[in-house]
Amino acid sequence: MSGVAPSAILALAAECRRRQALGADIVDLGLGEPDTPTPAHVGSAAAQAVAQGHTRYTPPAGVAPLRSAIVRRFAQEGLAYAPREVMVTCGAMGALSCAFHATVGAGDEVLLPAPYYPPYLTQIALVGGQAVIIPTDEADAFKLRPQRLRAALTDRSRVLVLNTPNNPAGTVYTRAELSALAAVALEAGLLIVADEVYSDLVAGPEAFVSVAALSPEVRRQTLVVRSVSKSYAMTGWRIGYAAGPEPLLKAMTRVQEALLVMPPSVSQWAALEALTGPQDCLRALAGSLAERAVYARQRLQAMPGVRCAPAGGTFFAFPALGPPGSDVTGLCASLLDSYGVAIVPGHAFGIPWCARVSCASPRTQLEAGLDRLERGLEQARRRDGHAA
């Protein structure tokens, strides 16, 4: 474990809490967590589950009603799965962990386009795999292109992780772009792990398309991973889910049983209500987060010396605060120390000249944080210009 780096995101959140406890005025734009409470009807369903005694062990793959609800949810997108092809997990990270344990051996390569979600590296390292980072272009909205994917292939390539909408950049792939990447993956015999946690939070002109929906052939070679954490403001309930080929799901279920026994029982019944109950809360939250993300990206794009790639999903902005190849980790530390605004340095995501700005805070807090960020960047620009 000494070789596994701690989460930069959680470390920053802990530092913000420490400073706030000491009385510091800190605006935390680092943690990716909706500011709204879990919907009331979901909480009521959890209380009812407790009253009805649903507090005991469940099957390792999750309770049958929730798995059936997940099947119906996918069917709404034209994705046909049987209950035996889906499982409930301890958050989306639980699904990813089970997937890597089930498919990646020592020395096997997992292909990761940069920017990537940092815990991927941890999960791959824990199973003895090798993360192969594939560069993307900032000017191309950080999208992986087929030629880059093909150039990264070796005889040890096993898995392609495709995160759309992307955390941190908000990149959303079109159907044509997914088809081109899937063709390379099929030819190379790669398992596509499609991290689609933010699929309900797409605000661009095109509707979200799952890579598994492209064709039966792609579906047979794809594991889809989602969760209720962000869409329903249920980050602490720790419920995710996965769908894919039955042999893979059986193997992942065995992993989950061995490592975790099962997902939390009461949380499963809460997730059932989230997926099957009124969806007004999802639409309201998605609309509010999208509005804040658009506002933040526009503010950032207007700041001198800052570049911010367009994005169609998630509630993050991923501005470039320095020239390509630079590292803004020190700048981010200075912004926290001198201006009381916290953002996550892009080094954690594989793009060190950028930083992740979470737009999930209340609008007034987001505005205040961006004001501080703008003042801090302006001061840094003047200082650097004077030094030059």
The structural architecture, per CATH, of the domain 8-31+281-387 is Alpha-Beta Complex (3.90)
The structural architecture, per CATH, of the domain 40-276 is 3-Layer(aba) Sandwich (3.40)
CA distance 161 to 97: 13
Q: Helices 91-103 and 119-126 sit at what angle, rounded to 10 degrees?
A: 40
Q: Decide whether 8-31+281-387 matches 40-276 in CATH topology.
A: no
- pLDDT, residue 32, reads 87
- pLDDT, residue 205, reads 67
- pLDDT, residue 210, reads 96
- pLDDT, residue 387, reads 43
205-227 average pLDDT score: 93
- pLDDT, residue 5, reads 79
- pLDDT, residue 381, reads 86
The domain limits of the chain are: 8-31+281-387, 40-276
pLDDT digits (tens, 9 = 90+) for 319-361: 999 999 999 999 999 999 999 999 999 999 999 999 999 999 9
31-41 average pLDDT score: 92
Flag whether pLDDT at 388 surpasses 60: no
- pLDDT, residue 310, reads 80
- pLDDT, residue 4, reads 80
Flag whether pLDDT at 143 surpasses 70: yes
pLDDT digits (tens, 9 = 90+) for 272-294: 999 999 999 999 999 999 999 99
Q: What does pLDDT average to over the chain?
A: 94
Flag whether pLDDT at 206 surpasses 80: no
